[in-house]
Every structure is written in C-alpha cells, then in structure tokens.
C-alpha cells in the first residue's frame, strides 16, 4: 500500500462529510437568496423616497430613511384599492362557484350510480387535456357577443370550470368508506344531506386545499381579465399592475410602483404563510396525480 | 315486528370475462321471523347471508319475492324509509362527529311530525347510550375509542330511533376473543330489554348458537335449515348443516346400510333396522364416539389433544372423508398415546345417516 | 337520473366554456376572411393557417418559444433535481428552505416581473443592480430589457426558470422523500458509493415524477406568455419577445387585434406542436422510465 493511501485512510471521514455538508448548505442558501432577493428588493424600493431612489445611480442595498409615502401614492394616484377589491370579488365569486360545481360533480362520480356514468367520466377526463389557450378565443367572442365585457359575470363564468379539481376531489370522496353511506341511508339520510353532513366534513382538508389553490390561481389571473376588461373600473391586480407600468403615475415612479407590487403580493404571501403545510401538500399531491 | 320473506331472490349480473353467468346470491328464500326474536343468519362466506341482510335493510332491492314487516309490504320501500337499525361490520361511525353527534344523527333526519325537539333528541341519545353503557364517552371522537366501545356506539346509533327491526352484520368479528364473549351476552341483553326483532349475520356457528333464539343456516343462497340452535344441532336436516355446526366438526365416513345395520368398512357400527340396503355417508359427532376396548370401530391413533376440560382423541380411518377424525372424551379417561390403534363405539343418537347423492338426512330408528 | 342532476352545473359550465369553444375554434380556423363586426366570412379553407405560418410575427414568436423551451426545461429540471437532492440530505433548516423556495409559486407573475424588470433594466439614471454586479466583475453593462435580443432572451429564460422552480422543487422533494429508506440501507450494506446510489437507485425510483415534470415543463414553456408581458410590456411584437400564446392573444385583441380566425389557426398550430412533443416524450419514456 502506498503512503498516500494511508493518509487518505487517516483523514477522519467526518471532515469530508462536513465539507460536503457545507457545500450543500452553500448551494441551498445561494438559491434561497436568489428567491428572496426580488422580494427584498421590492420591499426596499417601496420604502425609498422617490427622490432618494432616482438619485442613486448605484442602487443602495439598504435605506436609512424608510418612508411610507409611496404606499400613499400607490393608493391615491391609481385606484389600487379598487383593483384589490375587484380581485377579491372575482376570487371569492369564482372560487365559491367552482367549489359548488366541483363538489356536486365529484360527488356524482364518486358516490352515485346512474346510467352513462363511466362514459361521462371518460369525457370529463379527456377534457383535462384541453389547453385553455384553445378555448379562450371562442369564450372571448361569446362574452363579447353577450355584451358581458367589463362585467363580473363575464370575468367569472369562464373561469369557474376546473376539470382537474373535480378529478382530485372525486378520488378523495371515493376513499370515504361505502359503509358510511349505507349507514346514513339506513338512518334516513338523503343523498344531498349525506354530502353536506358527512362527505364534506370528512373531506374538508382536500376541499380547503382545492379552494386555496383556486384562490391563488384567481389572484394571479391575467390573460382572461385582460381580454374581457378594458374599463379600468373592472381591472384586477394583474391588469392594474400592467396599467401602472405602462401609464402609471404620470412619470416613471419606481418606488410607488414597488409599493403597489408589495400591496398586491402581500395578501397571497400572508395566505401562504398561514396555510403553508396545506398549500404545499396540495400542490405536491396535485402534481403527482396530474 | 314479525318479518316474513316470501320467495326472496337476488341475482347479480355475472362479472366473469368469458362466461356471463348471473350469480344467484339469495335463491328463493321463504322465512318467517317471529316478533321479538333474535335470529342468527349463519353460513360460510359467500352463502348469501350478507345479501339477505342488505335486502332486509333495503340497501339492495330483491330480484324477485316480497318482504313483509308484520302485514306491511316493505319490498319497494328504500332503506331510509324502512325504519331499520343496521350495525355494520366496520361500524361505519362518522369519523368527524363525536359519539353524541353520531347517535343524534339518525334523529336529526326525522322530518315533520316525527321531528323531536333538541331536548328530546338529547334525552333519547343518552337513553340509547345508557343502554349500551357508553354515556360517559359522549364527547369523544370514534378514533379515540376502543373497538368494543365503537361497537357499542354503533349499536346505540342503530337503536336510538327505535327501529322496527335491528340488523347486525358480523357484529363480533372485529373484536378480540375475550371481548367477543362479553359483547355477545351484551347483544342478547339489549335485545331482551328492547324486545326489538333482531337479525344478525355471522359465519361463526358458536356465536350464532350461543345467543340466538333461532338460527337460519344458509348455503349458496338457499336456506338449509331453520330452528332452535340445539334442535338444529341435534337433528340436522342434511350433511352440510351437520358439518357446519359443532366444534370439532362431525366425523364423516363413507359407509352403507346392509341388513338393518350401518357398516363402516367391514364393521357394523349401529343398528338401522328401518332403512333399506344402500350406500350412505355416516356422520358421528365427536362426543358420539366412545373409547371402548372392544368397540366395533378400529382406528389408527394419531395423537391426543388436551383441551383441559376434555380430550380430543385424533385418529384416522380409511373410510373417513377427512384425514383425521376426532373423538371428544372426558379428561379423566386414560388414553395410551403410544398405542397403534384405538377402538370406538358410536352413540346411536349422535350418529346420522345421509344420502350419498343429495346429502339429505336418512332418518333411522335406534333402540 | 339523480347523478346527472348533480353533474348538471359542471356540464353546463364545461359545455359552454370548453366543449363548445373547442369545436368552434376549429370552425373559426377554417373560415376565411371572417369579419368580427358583421360575423360573416367569405370562404372555407386553409388560408388562415398559411397566413399565420407566413406571418413574420408568428415565426418570431415560434422561434422565441422554442428557444425558451429548449433552454428552460432542462435547466430548471436539472437545477430543481440538484436542489431537491441537497434538500433531502439535510435535516436542519429544511422546512425553512422549503418554505422560501415555494414563495414564487404564490406571487403574482406580473407583479414580481416588474421587480425583475427594474433589476435588469438600464436607464439614464441608473444601470440597474444586475449591471452593477456585472461591472463589479469587470464586465460591460447591457440593457437587458430594451437591449440586444440575446440579453432580453436571457432575462426571459431566467425569470421563467425562477417562476417554475417552486413547483418542481416541491414535487421532486416529495418524490425523493417517498423512496423507501430500505433501498438506501441495502445499497450502503453493499458498499455502493453515494453517486452510484443516486444514479442507480434514486433516479430510477423517481423517474416517473421526473418525467412528469419534464412533460408538464414542456407544455408549460410552450404556453409561456405572462412572464414575457411582465418583463417587456404588452407590446411584445415590438420588443421581439412575443410567444405563440402572445401571438394568439394579440390576434384576438390587442394592437393588431380582431382576427379570431388567425388566432384560432395559431392556437391550433400550438396545440398540434404541444401534442406532438408530448407524444414523442411519451414514446421516449417507455424506454427510460421505470414504473413500479
């Protein structure tokens, strides 16, 4: 055996493991910074004064004179509050409607027996493959012809359907033991009451997860709202931010723009931090089942 | 509530890939269950007993035949309108509701005149819970209960609406042996106290025999025999019933009747003077085989099973239908375990003759 | 019968906003000279397709989209795999890292895109933070937002990867966590090196997930649009940064808008491309993906 082999053997394995660990943490921290930096930057910029920001040829990584004036500007110079309210209305309406449609359909597929169920389910499944880009064209024409542009009805209706969530919920409904259904039957429970009092409470975690995922989707909706609204009074946050960017505050007011971005992002980030486990589990499950 | 089944039949469409033969789960069952009795529906798995129970509950609709509760024809009545209480094998407790909410659930489904006030509902729920002695657990969730406690909750939930008929599906199968003994007494007590006509399904003959007023033995959808447990045991109608009841099982030999005597191999076992000469199956209960040094039936001794209260002598005989036969003798009797052969005599009243083709019992007079 | 009643709302919504539009879009795409205002058309044929395929804007969008797909799908999947593997090997701070990595998933693409824009943008007042860093390393500052094509494409790819990473990391981490510890123990007993264990055990075990991510990654990248809008504004044609989906929407409604026939033809072309790629993916996966 050569001397170098001995030295290699002598080197405590712990040192090598520690080096590996350090590299791993280095990588993880690097990516964490990549993710966090834009958030830091938007918050930082949003509290810099307009004057201070524009005088920094070399941007500063911190500020010593934080100000909230940009937030005042964001909420007064542009109807940011209206955008937020519109988005809230749109999100609540769409999610609520979708939940009703989804729960009823999933229940029918999971629990009820009726003629043509298998065929209907196959059709539903195949609809899962249809990209929204393909149907948005006709929907745009339909909504325009129905004179529903710049209305909440026009915004909400085509956004309601989600075949995937019906599928996901059906899978979960099916895991509820059959015996519970028969027990409820014997106890004189109607199908609807069974759905409301047994199925939904038992599957509440899944239902909440689906609702949250839909809320995220609605909050970030851009394409459809852009197509059917050109009246600022019906802008959602995505369209609002685009409008701010293009015609904005009358001048290129980056700090105020960032204040608007922070205001728009915060509700969802707060929702995420509250329901962190649920959301991540939901997305992971949705992902592996897709 | 008297229950009458008339020519009840249930067939399921065949699922096999090649042949599409329908499966007849319940085949032309006619049966009358007297008011206030506890009936054990007994049979091996796949005999149609669970289907029969589902037909009684209304969860499944019969293909043919009728069901009456007293004089009322309930055949077309769906489960929710039939007013039966059903205890599931899995208990089917609602996992998200407390014990109290589970028991209240059936009452909350009542509508119109039958609707009770909140107070009355609570009262009834506690009454039912008291009956099965779980009134101290009302705020727990099912997952916090033991198997036996869940079972009681399920029974309370079935009883709370004062069902016309109480149905139990394999009520003891999910309990351990000790709890099983206790719970079956409990079921008997509750049934006595409430006087509700009760039907329970089981594959365990001991369970059925021990608490039933009457047992119904089923096989492949057909009722084999109905009667008091002891009567069915003592006078089985056919070979299947004889084999199904009793532990250890009955010993069956290929034999024949010749000249008024029952022969196994070259040995005449008992007299059967009123039976003509023919080939038969001879069934002898384990307790019907007596050790006798000069007994007519020689068997090769294979071993001795000590059960405590008594002893099983395990032997074999070339004419036996099973590899080993068992004789059940008192623990005080001495058996020389090293002996090559043992000789038995048979008690005539524990000996049955069955037709070789149909398995039907051939009665014979013994003196 | 009752079942259909429960399905009715879903059928109405899906029928009106998915099935009918699906049929309609094919019809549109063959109707020549369709006039939106009067809803009339002059003939039936393949003209819309040939127009789209010869439209330089479409070809530009197609090129952009293809570059985006080829660059971002392998890079983001590989990076996500690396990070997930690293994440699975640690215990301390793991859930903190996971939470941080997931953040982009719950943010508004348009809003955060603005932040990226100001980070990369070069204006008379400032070179922007990214250029500052480049110069710090001795490089030349570039305008990533209004500058040369490759710089703009770089930002677009970068931002796209940033937005798709959360989903991939999350899915891969849970796939890695579901690999039974027993296999690793067996490999250790057999004296398998860590790298070999990863290549011969971990990768095959998570290959269905990996493959799923690649397929959805392809589909998602082909449909890129919001990211580009966030960075370069709504007039993507002018910025040379349009994507196929962007082209569809512009045809439908926008500066050059009002042509549902062209939009339909372009959308169907996109669908055909995506379908072909997915089928090829599926064929390849037959050989390489291990389904237990």
B249, B312 Cβ separation under 8 angstroms: no
What residues 65-94 of chain A have any CB closer than 8 A to a CB of chain C? none
- What mean pLDDT, rounded, does chain B reach? 90
Residue C188 has pLDDT above 90, yes or no: no
User: What is the pLDDT at residue C255?
Assistant: 60
In which region does residue A248 sit, left (phi positive, over 0), alpha (psi from -120 to 50) or beta (all else)?
left
What residues 278-297 of chain B have any CB closer than 8 A to a CB of chain A? none
The verdict on A6 touching C (C-beta cutoff 8 Å) is no
Residue C175 has pLDDT above 80, yes or no: yes
C and B interact (at least 3 Cβ pairs within 8 A): no
- The complex scores an ipTM of 0.89
CB atoms within 10 A of CB A91: 24
> Averaged over A122-146, what is the pLDDT?
86
Residue A288 has pLDDT above 50, yes or no: no
> Averaged over B43-67, what is the pLDDT?
91
pLDDT greater at residue C64 or residue A164: C64
> Averaged over C82-88, what is the pLDDT?
93
User: What is the pLDDT at residue A73?
Assistant: 87
Cβ-based contacts of A160 with chain C (< 8 Å): 13, 17
First to last CA, chain C: 39
User: What is the pLDDT at residue C7?
Assistant: 92
So where are chain C's domains? Answer: 55-109+147-288
User: What is the pLDDT at residue C37?
Assistant: 67
Percent of chain C, pLDDT > 90? Answer: 39
Which of A176, A180, A186, A189 has the highest number of chain B CBs within 10 A, making it the mutation to test binding with B? A186
The fold adopted by the segment(s) C55-109+147-288 is MetI-like fold (1.10.3720)
Please give the Cα distance from B354 to B240 (Å, whole number). Answer: 10
B44, B203 Cβ separation under 8 angstroms: yes
User: What is the pLDDT at residue A7?
Assistant: 53
Residue B54 has pLDDT above 50, yes or no: yes
pLDDT greater at residue C85 or residue B333: C85
| Confidence at B15, pLDDT banded by 50, 70, 90 | low
pLDDT greater at residue A246 or residue C119: C119
Which partners does chain C have (≥3 C-beta pairs < 8 Å)?
A
* Contacts for C228 with CB less than 8 Å, ≥ 6 apart: C64, C156, C236, C241, C242, C243, C246
- What mean pLDDT, rounded, does chain C reach? 87
User: What is the pLDDT at residue C97?
Assistant: 94
> Averaged over C112-118, what is the pLDDT?
91
Cβ-based contacts of A189 with chain B (< 8 Å): 80, 105, 109
Beta carbons of B95 and A202 less than 8 Å apart = yes
| Confidence at A290, pLDDT banded by 50, 70, 90 | very low
Superfamily designation of domain B3-240: P-loop containing nucleotide triphosphate hydrolases (3.40.50.300)
> Averaged over B237-254, what is the pLDDT?
93
**Domains defined along chain A, listed by start:** 14-70 (no CATH), 81-286 (1.10.3720.10)
pTM of the entire predicted model: 0.81
Query: A67-76, B104-113, C20-29, C216-225 — which is least confidently predicted?
Result: B104-113
Beta carbons of A56 and C126 less than 8 Å apart = yes
Which of A187, A198, A200, A203 has the highest number of chain B CBs within 10 A, making it the mutation to test binding with B? A187
Residue B341 has pLDDT above 50, yes or no: yes
| Confidence at A13, pLDDT banded by 50, 70, 90 | low
- The C-alpha of B79 sits at a distance from chain A's nearest C-alpha, in angstroms, of 5
Beta carbons of A284 and C10 less than 8 Å apart = no
CB atoms within 10 A of CB A196: 14
DSSP A158: G
| Confidence at B16, pLDDT banded by 50, 70, 90 | low
Cβ-based contacts of A259 with chain C (< 8 Å): none
Which of A138, A222, A288 has the highest number of chain C CBs within 10 A, making it the mutation to test binding with C? A138
Beta carbons of B79 and A186 less than 8 Å apart = yes
C and A interact (at least 3 Cβ pairs within 8 A): yes
What residues 33-52 of chain C have any CB closer than 8 A to a CB of chain A? 36
Cβ-based contacts of C269 with chain A (< 8 Å): none
> Averaged over B208-237, what is the pLDDT?
94
> Averaged over B124-138, what is the pLDDT?
91
SS3 track for chain C: CHHHHHHHHHHHHHHHHHHHHHHHHHHHHHEECCECCCCECCEECCHHHHHHHHCHHHHHHHHHHHHHHHHHHHHHHHHHHHHHHHHHCCCCCHHHHHHHHHHHHHCCHHHHHHHHHHHHCCCCCCCCHHHHHHHHCCCCCCCCCCCCHHHHHHHHHHHHHHHHHHHHHHHHHHHHHCCCHHHHHHHHHCCCCHHHHHHHHHHHHHHHHHHHHHHHHHHHHHCCCHHHHHHHCCCCCCCCCCCHHHHHHHHHCCCCCCCHHHHHHHHHHHHHHHHHHHHHHHHHHHHHCCCC
- What mean pLDDT, rounded, does chain A reach? 86
User: What is the pLDDT at residue A1?
Assistant: 44
The residue to which tokens 């834009």 are assigned? A38
Beta carbons of B80 and A186 less than 8 Å apart = yes
Beta carbons of A188 and B106 less than 8 Å apart = yes
> Averaged over C244-266, what is the pLDDT?
82
| Confidence at B18, pLDDT banded by 50, 70, 90 | low
What residues 174-233 of chain A have any CB closer than 8 A to a CB of chain B? 177, 179-180, 182-190, 193, 197-198, 201-202, 204
The verdict on C82 touching A (C-beta cutoff 8 Å) is yes
User: What is the pLDDT at residue A130?
Assistant: 80
DSSP B343: E
Residue A142 has pLDDT above 80, yes or no: yes
Chain C residue with CA closest to A141: the answer is C260
Query: What does the pLDDT look like over B19-32, one tens digit per residue?
Result: 567 888 999 999 99
| Confidence at A8, pLDDT banded by 50, 70, 90 | low
Please give the Cα distance from C104 to B188 (Å, whole number). Answer: 64
Chain A residue with CA closest to B95: the answer is A202
Nearest to B57 among A177, A186, A190 (CB): A186
Residue C195 has pLDDT above 90, yes or no: no
| Confidence at B108, pLDDT banded by 50, 70, 90 | confident
User: What is the pLDDT at residue B75?
Assistant: 93
The verdict on A41 touching C (C-beta cutoff 8 Å) is yes
pLDDT greater at residue A216 or residue C292: A216
Please give the Cα distance from B50 to B197 (Å, whole number). Answer: 17
Nearest to B59 among A180, A185, A190 (CB): A185
Helix (H, G, I), strand (E, B) or coil at B355: strand
User: What is the pLDDT at residue C291?
Assistant: 66
Residue C43 has pLDDT above 80, yes or no: no
- The C-alpha of C113 sits at a distance from chain A's nearest C-alpha, in angstroms, of 9
Query: A55-64, B45-54, B122-131, C115-124 — which is least confidently predicted?
Result: A55-64
> Averaged over B259-277, what is the pLDDT?
89
DSSP B320: B
Please give the Cα distance from A255 to A257 (Å, whole number). Answer: 5
The verdict on B105 touching A (C-beta cutoff 8 Å) is yes
**From-to residues of CATH 3.40.50.300 in chain B:** 3-240
CB-defined contacts A:C, below 8 A: 263
> Averaged over B309-325, what is the pLDDT?
91
> Averaged over B154-159, what is the pLDDT?
92
């Amino acid at each position: 055996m050569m001397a170098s082999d001995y030295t290699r053997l002598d080197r405590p394995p712990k040192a090598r493991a520690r080096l590996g660990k350090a590299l791993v943490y280095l990588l993880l921290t690097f990516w964490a910074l990549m993710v966090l930096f834009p958030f830091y930057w938007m918050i930082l910029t949003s509290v810099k004064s307009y004057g201070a920001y524009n005088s920094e040829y070399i941007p500063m990584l911190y500020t010593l004179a934080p100000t909230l004036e940009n937030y005042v500007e964001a909420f007064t110079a542009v109807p940011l509050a209206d955008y937020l309210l519109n988005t809230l209305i749109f999100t609540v309406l769409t999610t609520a409607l979708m939940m009703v449609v989804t729960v009823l359909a999933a229940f029918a597929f999971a629990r009820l027996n009726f003629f043509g169920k298998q065929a209907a389910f196959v059709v539903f499944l195949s609809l899962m493959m249809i990209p929204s880009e393909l149907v948005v064209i006709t929907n745009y024409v339909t909504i325009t012809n129905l004179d529903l542009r710049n209305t909440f009805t026009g915004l909400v209706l085509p956004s309601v359907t989600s075949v995937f969530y019906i599928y996901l919920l059906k899978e979960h409904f099916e895991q509820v033991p059959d015996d519970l259904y028969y027990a409820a039957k014997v106890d004189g429970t109607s199908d609807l009451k069974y759905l409301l009092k047994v199925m939904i409470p038992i599957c509440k975690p899944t239902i909440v997860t689906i609702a949250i995922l839909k809320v995220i989707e609605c909050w970030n909706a851009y394409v459809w709202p852009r197509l059917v609204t050109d009246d600022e009074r019906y802008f959602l946050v995505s369209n609002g931010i685009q409008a701010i960017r293009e015609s904005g505050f009358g001048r290129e007011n980056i700090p105020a723009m960032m204040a608007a971005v922070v205001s728009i992002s915060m509700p969802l980030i707060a929702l995420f931090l509250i329901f962190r486990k649920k959301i991540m589990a939901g997305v992971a499950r949705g992902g592996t089942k897709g | 509530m008297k229950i009458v089944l008339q020519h009840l039949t249930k067939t399921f469409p065949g699922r096999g890939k090649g042949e599409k033969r329908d499966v007849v789960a319940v085949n032309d069952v006619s049966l009358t269950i007297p008011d206030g009795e506890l009936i054990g529906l007994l049979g091996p798995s796949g005999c149609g007993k669970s289907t029969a129970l589902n037909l009684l509950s209304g969860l499944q609709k019969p293909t043919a035949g009728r069901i009456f509760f007293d004089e009322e024809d309930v055949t077309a009545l769906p489960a929710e309108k039939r007013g039966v209480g059903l205890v599931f094998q899995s208990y089917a407790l609602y996992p998200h509701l407390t014990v109290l909410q589970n028991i209240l659930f059936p009452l909350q489904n009542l509508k119109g005149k039958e609707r009770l006030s909140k107070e009355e509902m609570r009262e009834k729920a506690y009454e039912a819970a008291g009956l099965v002695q779980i009134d101290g657990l009302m705020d727990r969730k099912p997952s916090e209960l033991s198997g036996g406690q869940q079972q009681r909750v399920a029974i309370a939930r079935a009883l709370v609406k004062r069902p016309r008929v109480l149905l139990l599906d394999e009520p003891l199968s999910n309990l351990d042996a000790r709890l099983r003994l206790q719970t079956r007494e409990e079921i008997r007590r509750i049934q006595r106290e409430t006087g509700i006509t009760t039907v329970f399904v089981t594959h365990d003959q001991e369970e059925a025999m021990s608490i039933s007023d009457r047992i119904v033995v089923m096989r492949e959808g057909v009722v084999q025999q109905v009667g008091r447990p002891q009567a069915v045991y003592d006078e089985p109608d056919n070979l299947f019933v004889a084999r199904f009841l009793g532990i250890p099982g009955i010993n069956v030999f290929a034999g024949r009747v010749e000249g008024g005597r029952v022969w196994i191999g070259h040995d005449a076992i008992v007299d059967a003077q009123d039976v003509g000469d023919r080939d038969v199956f001879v069934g002898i209960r384990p307790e019907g085989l007596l050790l006798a040094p000069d007994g007519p039936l020689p068997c090769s001794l294979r071993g001795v099973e000590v059960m405590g209260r008594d002893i099983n002598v395990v032997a074999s005989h070339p004419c036996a239908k099973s590899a080993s036969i068992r004789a059940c003798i008192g623990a005080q009797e001495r058996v020389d375990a090293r002996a090559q052969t043992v000789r038995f005599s048979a008690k005539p009243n524990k000996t049955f003759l069955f037709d070789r083709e149909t398995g039907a019992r051939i009665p014979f007079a013994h003196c | 019968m009752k079942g259909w009643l429960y399905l009715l709302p879903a059928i109405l919504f899906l029928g009106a906003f998915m099935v009918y539009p699906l049929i309609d879009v094919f019809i549109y795409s063959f109707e020549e000279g369709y006039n939106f205002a009067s809803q009339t058309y002059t003939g039936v044929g393949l003209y819309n397709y040939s127009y789209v395929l010869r439209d330089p804007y479409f070809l530009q969008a197609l090129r952009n989209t293809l570059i985006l797909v080829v660059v971002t799908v392998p890079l983001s999947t590989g990076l996500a795999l690396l990070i997930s593997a690293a994440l699975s090997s640690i215990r301390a701070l793991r859930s903190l890292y996971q939470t941080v990595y997931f953040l982009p998933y719950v943010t508004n693409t348009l809003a955060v895109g603005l932040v990226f824009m100001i980070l990369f943008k070069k204006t008379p007042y400032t070179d922007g933070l990214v250029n500052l860093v480049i110069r710090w390393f001795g490089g030349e500052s570039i305008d990533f937002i209004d500058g040369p094509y490759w710089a703009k494409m770089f930002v677009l790819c970068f931002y796209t990867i940033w937005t798709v990473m959360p989903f991939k990391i999350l899915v891969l981490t849970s796939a890695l966590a579901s690999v039974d510890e027993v296999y690793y123990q067996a490999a250790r007993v057999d004296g398998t090196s860590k790298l070999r264990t990863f290549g011969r055990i971990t990768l095959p075990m998570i290959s269905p997930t990996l493959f799923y991510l690649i397929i959805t990654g392809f589909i998602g990248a082909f449909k890129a649009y919001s990211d580009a809008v966030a960075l370069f504004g709504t007039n993507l044609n002018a910025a040379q940064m349009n994507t196929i989906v962007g082209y569809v929407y512009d045809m439908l409604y926008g500066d050059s808008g009002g042509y549902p026939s062209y939009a339909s033809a372009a959308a169907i072309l996109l669908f055909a491309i995506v379908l072909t790629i997915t089928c090829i993916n599926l064929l390849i996966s037959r050989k390489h993906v291990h389904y237990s």
